[in-house]
Structure 1
Amino acid sequence: MYSLLLISAALSSCGLTAAIPAGLHRRDVTQLSATELAGFAPFTQFARAAYCGTDILSDWTCGEACEANSDFEVSLVGGDGDDIQNYFVGYSPSLEAIIVAHEGTDPTQLESDLTDIDVPLATLNSTLFPGISSDVEVHTGFQDEHALTADVILAEVKSLMSSVGTNNIIAVGHSLGGALAEIDTIFFRLNLPSADISAMTYGTPRVGNPAWAALVDASDVNFKRIDNMQDLIPIVPGRSLGYEHPAGEIHILSAGDAVSCPGDDDATDAECQIDSVPTIFEGNIIDHLGPYEGIYIGTIFCT
């Protein structure tokens, strides 16, 4: 996440900011209820747990994050937190869902930092994403990272779907992990056409171009991307580089106060991220860590 910040600072200094295009009209937001906000907590804790080491994830002993989802049955753990982001797959009886979680960037690990800064857009891997138009492009580094674990995660998800008898799959992640979860949505949709697919992401940078955003929107996936107060990571890489978020933004304004923002990265309401943080210089990197309704996410909060 910090490497994305450095690149964005350089781009902003050249005038490449997240300014709102002329001609867009104001769109109304929808206030979220306390019950809706509370319902996000299990997924927030899964995203938090993904930052923990594979050893403690294997036996689900990662402190508060694991205790909050105490009935979770982990079935696959992998990654090294550097070249391959940590990840886990398992079944949540209480949610009646298969959970796929990806770790975000650990700024102390060189390889994960290099993933963030590999920002050129590229067409999707035709082996993993067959039949997708070449107009659809995504962040090169995010796509390459996703490809490292795509097959093994898909195989585990298929196995769990058979063994526990559910078609409900939920991908979660924070920061880079959120970007991987977003890519998961289309990967799973192509490979598991009968599945009910959702994603809950936190502080997620932009993943692809407008054609990618349209693909996610049209995929019938229940996609939510939560950004927190003045977090600047969700506005990078810049739209001037050809990037655009899909729909599904939920913007936390303060504790207990959040709104659902309309549109694909173009909600001009002052309560939405793109207007409240128009450039990285008006953001706050600390907000990237939370709190997401009282829960902080990052390497130092994994226990």
Structure 2
Amino acid sequence: MLALLSSLVLLPALGALAAPAPAARSAADVTTLTAAQLSSLAPYTQFARAAYCDPSIVTGWQCGEACDAVTDFTATLTGGDGDETQFYYVGYWSTQKTVVVAHQGTDPTQLVSVLTDVDIPTIVPDPTLFPGLPSDIEVHEGFANEQAKTAALILAEVKRLLAQYSASSVTLVGHSLGGALAELDSLYMHLNLPASVAIQAVTYGTPRVGNDAWAAYFDSQITNFKRVNNEKDIVPIVPGRFLGFSHVAGEVHIVSPGDAVSCPGDDDATDDQCTIQTVPNIFDGDILDHLGPYEGIYIGTIYCT
């Protein structure tokens, strides 16, 4: 908490060091999602919700409402302890013929406290996990280290399921820290699976993961990526752009229940319907929006029922 408070004090002054806002975009660049588009996100939201459940009940897909909402899914690998290693699971979604990988998030107040620090370490992604990346790419060290803990194990299970079901698609999901891990996993899978395997991801309340070079390269490689932000959630605006961090493309911003827009670019600072204008700083945000509702669905440990 002291780290959070000290960071809050520093933020107004540090705001002057923020990167320049991108060039103005036309209103036509922001599109409103239809009711059908919004409802189509529900299974991914439930997958992200299920990632908070203990592996003992995700095994067998017996995790209550989240599991009951997606009955055509079979979990084949679960793990993590919710402490040293975030919960995770892998399985096959038969209706969509895709392998799904999901990661647990974390306490949002704790996450914000860490990500508003003015001295956030970044690293070059491990070249054994992320081969061939441009040399100027850097990502959040903590996120990278967490993703590395399970990367090889998850990749092996993904490959097994792709072969078993003759599937050609992998779907990554996660909320909060889990969203950051899903973002890293998306590029990791792309770099370590055959080019014929389609990579898609849907994340929720995801913090910024890497620098401008990361975002630019990610966007050039991963074209089916959605990061859903809810109303005044403050997690998506940290770490700050003044620290050199940038979001990848794909923002879907829930303006209010039943009303969401697709925002252009990586960090769109010009349209008042998108997150970065809705929540210009953490004082104007609401941490409770991080939990939802994402079109009626709340995500977090207390909602694993």
Scaled by the length of structure 2, the TM-score of the pair is 0.92
Distance 1:114 1:78, change over 3 A: farther
1:69 Cα offset (Å): 0.7
Equivalent residue for 2:290, pick from 288, 291, 294 = 288
Structure 1 residues 23, 295: closer, same or farther in 2, change over 3 A?
Answer: closer
Counterpart position of 1:164: 165
Indicate the residue corresponding to 1:173 in structure 2.
174
Q: Which residue of 2 aligns with 1:188?
A: 189
Task: Check 1:252–1:189 CA distance in 2 against 1; reply closer, same or farther (3 A cut).
Answer: same
1:1-303 aligned within 5 A: 9-16=8-15, 21=20, 24-28=23-27, 29-106=30-107, 119-192=120-193, 193-303=195-305
C-alpha separation between the residues in 1 aligned to 2:3 and 2:287?
11
How much does 1:26 deviate?
3.5
Contact kept? 1:3, 1:116, Cα under 8 Å: no
Query: What is the alpha-carbon distance in structure 1 between the residues aligned to residue 181 and residue 44 of structure 2?
Result: 15
Of 56-65 and 155-164, the range deviating more from structure 2: 56-65
Distance 1:127 1:23, change over 3 A: closer
Q: Which runs of 5 or more structure 1 residues have no equivalent in the other structure?
A: none
Native 8 Å contact 2:179 2:203 kept in 1: yes
SS in 2 for 1:101: strand
In structure 2, runs of 5+ residues without a counterpart are none
Tell me by how many angstroms 1:114 deviates.
7.0
Percent identity, aligned pairs only? Answer: 56
Question: Match of 2:257, as an amino acid?
Answer: A
What is the Cα deviation at residue 9 of structure 1? 2.4
Distance 2:19 2:114 in 1: 29
- Residues in 2 aligned to 1:246 and 1:288: alpha-carbon distance in whole angstroms: 19
In the alignment, is the contact (CA less than 8 A) between 1:169 and 1:196 conserved in 2? yes
Sort the Cα spacing of 1:223 and 1:3 in 2 relative to 1 into closer, same or farther, 3 A.
farther
Maintained 8 Å contact 2:7/2:116: no
Output the TM-score relative to the length of structure 1.
Answer: 0.93
Query: Per the alignment, do residues 8 and 159 of structure 1 end up closer, same or farther by CA in structure 2, a change over 3 Å counting?
Result: farther
Q: Distance in 2 between matches of 1:183 and 1:4?
A: 26
Q: Provide Cα deviations, 1:177-233, integer angstroms capped at 9, x if missing partner.
A: 000000011100100132100010000000000100011110044110000000000
* Matched-pair contact (CA < 8 Å) for 1:26–1:267: no
Counterparts in 2 of 1:210 and 1:4: CA distance versus 1, 3 Å: farther
Cα deviation for residue 22 of structure 1 reads 5.0
CA shift in 2, pair 1:17/1:179, >3 Å: farther
Shift of 1:59: 1.7
Residue type at the aligned position of 2:33: L
**Does the CA contact (< 8 Å) of 1:19 and 1:279 recur in 2?**
no
The answer as to whether partners of 1:48 and 1:297 remain within 8 angstroms in 2 is yes
Residues in 2 aligned to 1:125 and 1:9: alpha-carbon distance in whole angstroms: 32
User: Given that residues 20 and 266 in structure 1 are in contact (C-alpha distance below 8 angstroms), is that contact kept between their aligned partners in structure 2?
Assistant: no
**Farther-moved stretch of structure 1 (8-17 vs 31-40):** 8-17
The amino acid of 2:102's aligned partner reads: A
Q: Please provide the CA RMSD for this pair.
A: 2.5
